[in-house]
């Protein structure tokens, strides 16, 4: 799991561009293995420009987690087994590949992995809570991820956390692209954005 830790508090007020104040952050890798939790700073080989998008829509984290937890502790169906694979081997492999991309400074490949991670989540987790996840359950998330006018400015994107129509994260090609994404999404879709730079 990759977390970002803000180096300073965000300004409580929106700037004139209706964007939360940009923030430099520290990337932290957290690993869970049974009862063991470890955390360490991620090694970054370049600069990564991310836009976090508050989708301004509704979601039920409680409903999502109940759906996902129904597959545990032991899988009973093919759908349960698919979720176990997603949250186990698939997640581990994608996470390791993503960390390698970050160490190399390869934003394009990291964005491609974000797209893969979103597809895997939709396919494997979506059926566990179809009213909140996947194409039909989180239409605003998927609208933003596929929104035509921003595609030339991003490498990829995915939902955040338990997903649903809460927050999207978009990996942009450069600083100028990050601002273009913010301007387009806030003006045309009425969402709120936070620019984050990892370096």
d(CA 108, CA 22): 22
Exposure on the CB side of residue 91, measured as CA atoms within 13 A: 17
The pTM of the full predicted model, rounded to 2 decimals, is 0.86
Which residues, 6+ apart, have CB-to-CB distance to 81 below 8 Å?
75
Percent of the chain with pLDDT over 70: 87
Please report which confidence band the pLDDT of residue 25 belongs to, taking 50, 70 and 90 as the band edges. Answer: low
The CATH classification of domain 46-198, taken from the options 3.40.50.11540, 3.40.50.620, 3.30.70.890, 3.30.750.210 = 3.30.70.890
Residue 118, pLDDT > 90, answer: yes
Instruction: Give yes or no for residue 7 having a pLDDT over 80.
Output: no
**167 closest CA partner among 135, 134, 191:** 191
Query: What is the mean pLDDT of the segment spanning 105-129?
Result: 97
pLDDT in tens, 76-108: 999 999 999 999 999 999 999 999 999 999 999
Going from N- to C-terminal start, the domains of the chain cover 46-198
Average pLDDT, the chain: 88
């Amino acid at each position: 799991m990759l977390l970002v830790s803000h180096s300073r508090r965000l300004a409580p007020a929106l700037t004139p561009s209706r964007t939360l104040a940009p923030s430099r952050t520290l990337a932290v890798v957290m690993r869970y293995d049974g009862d063991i939790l470890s955390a360490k700073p991620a090694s970054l080989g370049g600069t990564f420009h991310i836009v976090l998008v508050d989708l301004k829509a509704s979601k039920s984290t409680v409903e999502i987690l109940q759906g996902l937890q129904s597959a545990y502790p032991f899988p009973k169906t093919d759908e349960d087994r698919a979720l176990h694979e997603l949250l186990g081997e698939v997640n581990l492999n994608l996470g390791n590949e993503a960390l390698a991309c970050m160490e190399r400074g390869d934003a394009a490949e990291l964005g491609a992995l974000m797209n893969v991670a979103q597809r895997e989540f939709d396919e494997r987790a979506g059926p566990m809570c179809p009213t909140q996840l996947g194409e039909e359950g989180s239409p605003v998330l998927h609208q933003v991820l596929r929104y035509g006018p921003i595609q030339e400015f991003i490498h990829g994107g995915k939902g955040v956390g338990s997903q649903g129509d809460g927050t999207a994260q978009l990996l942009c090609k450069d600083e100028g692209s990050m601002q273009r994404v913010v301007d387009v999404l806030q003006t045309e879709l009425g969402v709120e954005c936070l620019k984050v730079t990892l370096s």
